[in-house]
Structure 1
Amino acid sequence: MKIAYARVSTADQSLDLQLDALKAFGFDKIYTEKASGGKDDRAELAKALDNLREGDTFIVYKLDRLARSTQKLFDILFQLKKNEVEFVSLSDKIDTSTAAGKALFGMMAVFAEFERDIIRERTVAGLEAARARGRNGGRPRTDAKKLDKAIKLYEGKTHSVSEIEELTGVTKGSLYRELNRRKRDAT
């Protein structure tokens, strides 16, 4: 079965160009949506991927219609390969059912791994440089006095959590984390 997927980022954009190209190529079923490529929770993409079976072909107009980040794109492509689903990107001229398409996919995989390694190395180097300057990173700790005041207000049961946030500047998450920490420490 040939399953196609088309996406535009905003409601005022048109799917026509993609649909025309996909129809010319041919497909059995198509999923379309208007959603940002940066979102990981695209319902129609999830449905399309869930309906693919071994031996099927997944078709997109262009790689950037599938994902905006290299990592997300490769996660999808590796899952397709693992499930023995062929992949076609019309504009990028990628077809994993051909020897050239498989070779291109292999080269892309090498570059994706290289990119991940470079990002990891930069992150480690940045953290080491920050530590050398006395910075440990992470979120700044919530002021202990503010946190104590927030807990007293919470335990007094006279204010809602939203009101406590406004009065003390302590976020709901910080308040609940501290309450849970104290509860654990008490046992």
Structure 2
Amino acid sequence: MTTTAEWADADSPLAAVPTNSSGARIGYARVSKKGQLLDRQIAALNAADCVRVFADKKSGKTAEREELGKCLDYLRPADTLVVPSLDRLGRSIQDLISIVSDLRRRGIGFQSLHEALDTTTPGGRLVFHVFAALAEFIRELIVQGTHEGLAAARARGERIGRPPVMTEEQIRHARELLAQPDNTITSIARLLGISRTTLYKHVPELAAGRDSLVAGSLALPGPR
């Protein structure tokens, strides 16, 4: 009978993590606010036989979690990273999957105490594989929905993307001001609240000089 480790791809979350009795159990804890206490999480990790615990006092949405970085650097092949719960480690399901998958590639196990998830066991690897597949499925649904929404918006004639820096009325006003030789480009840009670069971008004929703009204004019929 073919085992999971035999048929799983080398980068698959289902691939087995080498077991080694000499590996250490390293804990990571996190609270979102400085006023919150880490005591309960650290006690749970110590009770799970963690020989060292790293801890952050930062929101999970914060990309820079110094202690997590130190923890991941400290881990060695055959070690196991232990966390009180999944939400203490990843900012999102995608972030969690990325971290745990990287640990697996390094030959490091992962265990979450609250969810009883342990990637050093076949059952734990299967559960994590389901997480990864579900996250990919959700991502594909979001991408598909986004593409369908953009297509529907284009069919309705709606503009897609960032709005222009200058409106059509501002561009028309800029041309009128540029047609008057006494107005400098810098003063016009300041009046419209834009940069000179933006003005040149939206009035491309300005690059050829202002004479054409002046001539064009003289050729226009006067107001009725």
TM-score, with normalisation over the residues of structure 2? 0.65
d(CA) in 2 for partners of 1:23, 1:46:
20
Aligned CA distance change for structure 1 residues 99 and 108 (closer, same or farther; 3 Å): same
Q: Which amino acid aligns with 1:57?
A: T
Give 2:130's aligned residue. Answer: 107
Partner in structure 1 of residue 8 of structure 2: none
Among 82, 98, 108, the alignment partner of 1:59 is 82
Q: Max radius of gyration: which structure?
A: 2
Equivalent residue in structure 2 for 1:78, among 101, 105, 114: 101
CA 1:52/1:136 → structure 2, altered by over 3 Å: closer, same or farther? farther
Where do residues 1-187 of structure 1 align in structure 2 (5 Å cutoff)?
Answer: 1-143=24-166, 152=186, 169-170=193-194
SS of corresponding position for 1:32: strand
Using structure 1 for the length normalisation, give the TM-score.
Answer: 0.76
SS at the partner of 2:96? Answer: helix
1:120 deviates by 1.1
Q: Distance in 1 between matches of 2:58 and 2:197?
A: 34
Query: What is the CA–CA distance in structure 1 between the aligned matches of 2:114 and 2:140, rounded to whole Å?
Result: 28
- Report deviation, 1:138: 2.2
8 Å CA contact 2:94, 2:135 repeated in 1 = yes
Give the count of matched residue pairs.
Answer: 167
Q: Please provide the CA RMSD for this pair.
A: 2.9
The Cα shift of 1:81 comes to 1.5
The C-alpha deviation readout for 1:45-66, integer Å capped at 9, x for no partner, is: 1121122222111111000011
Q: Give me the whole-angstrom Cα distance separating, in 1, the residues matched to 2:66 and 2:88.
A: 14
Shift of 1:176: 9.7
Kindly state the Cα deviation for residue 177 of structure 1 after the two structures are TM-superposed. Answer: 7.7
Q: Equivalents in 2 of 1:18, 1:70: separation in Å? A: 21
Pair 91,177 (structure 1): closer, same or farther in 2 beyond 3 Å: farther
Q: CA–CA distance in 2 between the matches of 1:107 and 1:177?
A: 51
Structure 1 residues not aligned, in runs of 5+: 156-163
Which of 84-93 and 119-128 deviates more?
Answer: 119-128
- CA separation in 1, counterparts of 2:79 and 2:51? 10
Quote the offset at 1:137 in angstroms: 2.7
Query: More helix by proportion, 1 or 2?
Result: 1
* Separation in structure 2 between the aligned mates of residue 137 and residue 50 of structure 1, nearest angstrom: 43
Identity between Structure 1 and Structure 2 (%): 41
Which structure is richer in relative contact order (CA contacts within 8 A, separation 6 or more)?
2
CA deviation after TM superposition for structure 1 residue 22, in Å: 0.5
Q: Which amino acid aligns with 2:186?
A: K
